[in-house]
Amino acid sequence: MCGRIDGRIAKFPEGERLEFTWDGNDECDPAFGSGRLMLKEGEAEGEFKFHRGDISGFKTRRMGGKRQ
């Protein structure tokens, strides 16, 4: 899957998160959907949703190095 995202930061009682829509392709087929990303002290957790399809969750964390 590859593509572009367009989003905004939304504020919630539990913190801020990036809410976005995306478009691109998945195995050379056009695809689009939405998603969210919540940041917490050097970690991020979120999901990509395919329109009328699967939901893929992910987690990531910062691994050293300087922030630019």
For the residues of 33-61, what is the DSSP string, one character each?
EEEEEEEETTEEEEEEEETTS-EEEEEEE
- Residue for token digits 């979120």? 46
CA-angle at 39, arms to 67 and 21, nearest 5°: 105
Provide the pLDDT confidence category of residue 26 given band limits of 50, 70 and 90: confident
pLDDT at 2 over 90: no
Domain limits, the chain: 2-61
pTM of the model: 0.74
pLDDT in tens, 43-58: 889 998 999 989 999 9
What is the b/e burial string over 32-52, where b = at least 16 CB atoms within 10 angstroms of the residue's CB? ebbbebeeeeeeeebebbbee
